């Protein structure tokens, strides 16, 4: 049995074990917990950094544990392998059976249900990208697998997919760019039974935000750095125990590891137009002091981080766009106006045909860039093409979905208005998710 097979078996076993979990219901805590989350979010609370676990190295590494580049045949073939298809199917089942039914309530409450997040963590997708030496199941770079998983989850609901995938972005960053001490200190927690909530915070509340011209700053001090600035739309921020924060150091953007209990870090609920189930927050850094060991990777690694994040958003846009398309086709065929289905009208038929073409183009561009990334090839050009397609087409797909539904598209009776709001984020969000 291959490593990928065993990892897939682990994920499927976990899926079967947690799919029917009703612990929260049995304890009678669901209504109380969800009410508390909802009221706190509505009030726009401000809290200091969460007093999370005390991270410590359980072992010492002589050198960083890295995943080797994926092997390939050299042929241009984007057909998923059997293992990748199994991962995709598992994520797709979870998305349609668990995420989609919970999406409307999560959007209303501006929070993902705790039991849903636990089930997502138990699937073990994050462990697939963590090397065996640190308790994970990875042996090769798996950017394509991550793209397929993100796409499948977003088909259930994009906002909940972001909430589920955000901690894995921090684990991926540590695997790719962390040194031996950083990996030994933090990565084992991500394969434990209760993996920490974590977030990659790049976005800032600035007009025309440029990920390579950050307003958040890091200044060298004795024994470390002092961070100041504001980060926006940080997913599940009030629950996070660990952040990877982007800040400008010596004129170049860099990444820093900051634990939630660090003095000077505070969080405020920041419900937005979309991504509401991701419980987005605003993170403030007021003279936050971190040790020299908090610096993660190099300036070149930061550029790779942004490219990989943009690919992840492209995958999310593709999955959510597929959900829009699958909703529109039966609706257009069943909706009768002036004595015939609206799909018989050229304006409607052509609009749906355009969505199909745009989705296929975005999907192939994203897969191509991810395939080059996991082989260790230069993928910046391909990632830029995919990002441009997502920026220009994702919002249009959501808008066309609302248009086809007419007046129904403006109501919460149908999910298309929620998908439209979420898809708008794919054109400007930076960070949060990685492949």
- The C-alpha atoms of residue 167 and residue 198 are separated, in whole angstroms, by 4
Q: Are residues 269 and 340 in the same domain?
A: no
In a domain, residue 413? The reply is yes
242: domain CATH number is 2.40.110.10
Could you tell me if 198 and 189 are in contact, meaning their C-beta atoms sit under 8 angstroms apart? no
The verdict on 145 and 247 lying in the same domain is no
Query: Could you tell me which of 75, 80, 86, 66 has the C-alpha nearest to residue 1?
Result: 86
Tell me whether residue 37 is in a domain.
yes
Question: For residue 13, is it within any domain?
Answer: yes
Buried b (16+ CB within 10 A) or exposed e, 403-428: bbbeeebeeeebbbbbbbbbbbbbbe
Other C-beta atoms within 10 Å of 193: how many? Answer: 7
Which residues, in sequence order, are bridge partners of residue 46?
268
Tens digit of pLDDT per residue, the chain (435 long)? 333 444 344 444 433 433 444 433 543 444 444 444 434 433 344 556 555 667 877 677 778 888 888 876 666 677 888 889 999 999 999 999 999 999 999 999 999 999 999 999 888 888 888 888 888 877 788 899 999 999 999 999 999 999 999 999 999 999 999 999 999 999 999 988 788 999 999 999 999 999 999 999 999 998 899 999 999 999 999 999 999 999 999 999 999 999 999 999 999 999 999 999 999 999 999 999 999 999 999 999 999 999 999 999 999 999 999 999 999 999 999 998 888 999 999 999 999 999 999 999 999 999 999 999 999 999 999 999 999 999 999 999 999 999 999 888 888 999 999 999 999 999 899 999 999
Same domain, 336 and 410: yes
Q: Looking at the domain assignment, is residue 398 inside a domain? A: yes
Domain shared by 348 and 415, yes or no:
yes
Q: Which domain holds residue 287?
A: 217-299
Same domain, 18 and 87: yes
CATH code for position 423: 1.20.140.10
Cα maximum dimension of the chain: 77
Same domain? 279 vs 309: no
Does 172 share its domain with 306?
A: no
Task: Let me know whether 280 and 177 are in one domain.
Answer: no
315 and 391 inside one domain: yes
Distance CA 389, CA 404 (A): 22
Q: Are residues 57 and 164 in the same domain?
A: yes
90 within some domain: yes
Number of independent structural domains in the chain: 3
Residues 256 and 361 in one domain: no
In-domain check, residue 324 = yes
């Amino acid at each position: 049995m291959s490593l990928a097979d065993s990892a897939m078996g682990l994920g499927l076993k976990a899926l079967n074990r947690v799919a029917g979990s009703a612990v929260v219901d049995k304890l009678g805590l669901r209504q109380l917990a969800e009410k508390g989350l909802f009221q706190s979010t509505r009030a726009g609370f401000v809290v200091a950094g969460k007093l999370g676990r005390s991270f410590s190295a359980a072992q010492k590494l002589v050198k960083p544990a890295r995943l080797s580049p994926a092997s390939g045949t050299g042929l241009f073939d984007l057909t998923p392998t059997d293992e990748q298809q199994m991962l995709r199917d598992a994520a797709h089942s979870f998305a349609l059976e668990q995420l989609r039914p919970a999406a409307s309530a999560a959007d209303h409450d501006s929070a993902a249900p705790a039991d849903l997040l636990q089930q997502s963590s138990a699937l073990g997708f994050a462990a697939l990208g963590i090397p065996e030496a640190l308790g994970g199941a990875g042996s090769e770079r798996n950017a394509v697998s991550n793209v397929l998983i993100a796409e499948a989850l977003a088909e259930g609901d994009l906002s909940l997919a972001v909430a589920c995938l955000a901690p894995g972005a921090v684990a991926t960053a540590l695997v790719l760019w962390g040194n031996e001490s950083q990996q030994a200190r933090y990565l084992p927690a991500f394969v434990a039974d209760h993996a920490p909530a974590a977030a990659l915070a790049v976005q800032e509340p600035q007009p025309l935000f440029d990920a390579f011209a950050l307003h958040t700053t890091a200044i060298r001090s004795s024994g470390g750095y002092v961070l100041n600035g504001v980060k926006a739309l940080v997913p599940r921020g009030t629950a996070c125990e660990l952040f990877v924060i982007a800040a400008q150091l010596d004129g170049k953007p860099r990444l820093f590891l900051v634990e939630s209990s660090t003095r000077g870090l505070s969080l405020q609920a920041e419900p937005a137009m979309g991504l509401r189930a991701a419980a987005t927050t605003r993170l403030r850094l007021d003279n936050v002091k971190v040790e020299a060991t908090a610096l993660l990777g190099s300036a070149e690694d930061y550029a790779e981080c942004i490219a990989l994040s943009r690919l992840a958003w492209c995958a999310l846009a593709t999955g959510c766009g597929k959900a829009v398309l699958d909703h529109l086709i039966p609706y257009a065929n069943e909706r009768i106006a002036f004595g015939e289905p609206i799909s018989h009208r050229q304006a409607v038929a052509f609009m749906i045909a355009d969505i199909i073409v745009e989705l296929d183009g975005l999907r192939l561009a994203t897969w191509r860039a991810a395939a080059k990334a996991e082989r260790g090839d230069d993928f910046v050009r391909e990632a830029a093409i995919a990002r441009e397609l997502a920026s220009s087409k994702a919002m249009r797909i959501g808008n066309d979905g609302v248009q086809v539904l007419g007046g129904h598209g403006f109501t919460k009776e149908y999910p298309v208005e929620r998908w439209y709001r979420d898809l708008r984020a794919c054109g400007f969000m930076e960070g949060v998710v990685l492949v």
